[in-house]
Structure 1
Amino acid sequence: MAEHHPATEHVPGTMDITEHERMFGAFMKFWVYLFGGAILVLIFLALFNS
Structure 2
Amino acid sequence: MADYKPGSMDITAQEQTFHGFIKWVIRTVYVIIAVLLFLAIFNS
TM over 0.5, yes or no? Answer: yes
Q: Distance in 2 between matches of 1:18 and 1:44?
A: 39
TM-score by length of 1: 0.79
Q: What is the aligned-residue RMSD (CA, Å)?
A: 1.2
So what's the TM-score if we normalise by structure 2? 0.89
**Distance (whole Å) between structure 2 residues aligned to residue 13 and residue 31 of structure 1:** 28
Q: Tell me how far 1:20 sits from its aligned partner.
A: 0.4
Structure 2 residue 10 is matched with structure 1 residue 16: yes
Please report how far the alpha carbon of residue 9 of structure 1 lies from its aligned counterpart in structure 2 after TM superposition.
Answer: 1.7
- For structure 1, the 5+ residue unaligned runs are 1-6
Percent identical pairs in the alignment equals: 43
The alignment covers a number of residue pairs equal to 44
Q: Does 1:30 align with 2:4?
A: no
The CA deviation string for residues 5-45 of structure 1, in whole angstroms up to 9 with x for no partner, is xx322111100001100000000011101111000000001
The answer for unaligned runs of 5 or more in structure 2 is none
Which structure has the highest helix share of the two?
A: 2
Q: What amino acid is the match of 1:41?
A: V
Which has more radius of gyration? 1
